[in-house]
């Protein structure tokens, strides 16, 4: 067979190939309601109740850099990114299995720090860390977490289900995580330059970044929006579709529209950009809107809801209406502050294999 580079088909092209191979296994388990293609797999153990399952891997130098990431925060974040996928199904997390591959340079105290962060986050979300696996690593640290959650049949929410005329909503603010990451990367470069030139690194890391600590916190310590899921449950409101924003608003909206067979129109002036992000973008000569649209790692929830149902959550200041679902033929569009429309599909999110 001729050699075919993975970069030629990209991350999602590769997942499609995998899905085609494993598809026959899905039919052997009738209780499996959904497999590859949503934020979680869905399994029905008994009538009325559903289990949702997700897994996420964090790899040194791909997802994090230990020069700029305290291990406690990394532990917490590794739990949060999984909880975020559970929340995207409108479900609540129950327990997690944690696997780690540890490089030989690590000490016992470093692993304890990592797990203190995980344990702290687990308590905050009300989930148990119930097991895992431990290995050595010849390269960097690898953290792989699988998580199980629960949701009633009435509350389960898929990526599909959006309908023309419905509102598109997003929780919290966007772009802050990308802004925080860019700042940390700049600081790292400065630090490495000092080390290379044999100069003392006099500029205090924390002092320099203090005014932007909120953006950095968004990157290093993102919190999954379990509060929004609890709000929806308490008000008996089910969005018609939902996804979490791990790769950026634009690619996640594309996932919802592809699965729902719809289009969408969102408005630039309604996108809730994280407050410090514009200033940081100016300072780094970058673009805050681009960070909000495809910066990723904000871990907010993006959902669609009928205008009638929206009235039940309209009082919540953490939820912004950014546009409307349209017919598929109208495509995915962003209307900018001048009223011009831009094709959102031209904006790509993070792909592990694109060059």
Residues near Mg ion (CB under 5 A) are 39, 85, 244
In the region spanning residues 46 to 105, those forming contacts with ligand ADP, defined by CB under 6 A, are 56, 85
Which DSSP state fits 333? Answer: E
Minimum CB distance to ligand ADP smaller for 254 or for 326: 254
Stretch that binds ligand ADP, among 36-44, 105-113, 163-171, 321-329 (CB under 6 A): 36-44
What HEC string does 282-316 produce? HHCCCCHHHHHHHCCCCCCEEEEECHHHHCCCCCC
Stretch that binds ligand ADP, among 30-38, 177-185, 211-219, 270-278 (CB under 6 A): 30-38
Stretch that binds ligand ADP, among 33-41, 160-168, 233-241, 256-264 (CB under 6 A): 33-41
**Partner touching 15 among ligand ADP, Mg ion, none, CB below 5 to 8 Å by kind:** ligand ADP
Tell me the CA distances in angstroms from 332 to 114, 155, 246, 255, 267, one per residue in order.
Answer: 41, 27, 19, 11, 11
Distance separating alpha carbons of residues 338 and 346, to the nearest angstrom: 19
Q: What share of the chain is helix, strand, coil (3-state, %, to 5)?
A: 40, 25, 35
Q: What are phi and psi of 175, to 5 degrees?
A: 95, -20
Least separation in angstroms between CB 159 and Mg ion: 9
Distance separating alpha carbons of residues 153 and 51, to the nearest angstrom: 10
Minimum CB distance to ligand ADP smaller for 87 or for 344: 87
**Residue 192 neighbours by CB under 8 Å, 6+ apart:** none
Q: Is 246 in the site for ligand ADP (CB under 6 A)?
A: yes
**Partner touching 37 among ligand ADP, Mg ion, none, CB below 5 to 8 Å by kind:** ligand ADP
Q: Is 6 in the site for ligand ADP (CB under 6 A)?
A: no
Tokens 């600081």 sit at which residue? 187
Residue 180 φ/ψ region, left for φ over 0, alpha for ψ in the -120 to 50 degree band, beta for the rest: alpha
Q: Is 18 in the site for ligand ADP (CB under 6 A)?
A: yes
Tokens 């598809």 sit at which residue? 23
Least separation in angstroms between CB 208 and ligand ADP: 32
**Partner touching 18 among Mg ion, ligand ADP, none, CB below 5 to 8 Å by kind:** ligand ADP
Minimum CB distance to ligand ADP smaller for 85 or for 166: 85
Minimum CB distance to ligand ADP smaller for 178 or for 183: 178
Least separation in angstroms between CB 246 and Mg ion: 5
Number of Cβ within a 10 Å radius of residue 132: 16
Least separation in angstroms between CB 145 and ligand ADP: 11
CB 91, CB 40: distance < 8 Å = yes
Which residues contact ligand ADP by CB under 6 A?
A: 15, 18, 36-39, 56, 85, 246
């Amino acid at each position: 067979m001729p050699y075919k580079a993975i970069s030629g088909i990209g991350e999602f092209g590769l997942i499609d190939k995998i899905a085609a191979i494993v598809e026959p296994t899905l039919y052997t388990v009738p209780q499996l309601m959904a497999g590859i293609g949503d934020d979680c797999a869905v399994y029905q153990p008994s009538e009325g109740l559903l289990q949702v399952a997700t897994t996420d891997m964090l790899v040194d130098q791909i997802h994090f850099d230990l020069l700029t990431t305290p291990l406690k925060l990394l532990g917490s974040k590794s739990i949060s990114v999984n909880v975020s996928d559970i929340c995207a199904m409108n479900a609540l997390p129950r327990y997690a299995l944690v696997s780690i591959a540890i490089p030989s340079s690590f000490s016992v105290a470093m692993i304890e720090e990592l797990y203190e962060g995980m344990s702290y986050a687990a308590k905050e979300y009300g989930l148990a860390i119930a097991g895992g696996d431990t290995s050595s690593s010849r390269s960097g640290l690898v953290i792989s977490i699988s998580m199980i959650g629960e949701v009633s049949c009435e509350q389960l929410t898929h990526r599909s289900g959006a309908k023309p005329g419905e509102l598109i909503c997003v929780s919290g603010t966007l772009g802050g995580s990308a802004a925080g990451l860019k700042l940390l990367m700049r600081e790292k470069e400065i630090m490495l330059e000092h080390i290379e030139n044999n100069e003392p690194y006099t500029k205090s890391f924390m002092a320099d970044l203090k005014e932007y600590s909120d953006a950095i916190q968004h990157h290093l310590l993102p919190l999954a929006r379990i509060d929004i899921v609890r709000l929806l449950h308490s008000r008996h409101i089910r969005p018609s579709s939902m996804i979490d924003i791990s790769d950026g608003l634009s690619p996640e909206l594309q996932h919802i529209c592809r699965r729902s067979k719809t289009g969408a129109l969102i408005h630039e002036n309604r996108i809730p950009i994280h407050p410090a992000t514009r200033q940081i973008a100016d300072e780094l000569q970058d673009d805050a809107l681009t960070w909000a649209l495809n910066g990723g790692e904000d871990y907010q929830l993006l959902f669609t809801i009928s205008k009638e149902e929206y009235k039940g959550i309209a009082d919540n200041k953490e939820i912004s209406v950014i546009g409307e679902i349209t017919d598929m033929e109208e495509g995915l569009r962003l209307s900018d502050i001048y009223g011009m429309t831009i094709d959102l599909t031209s904006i790509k999110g993070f792909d592990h294999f694109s060059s």
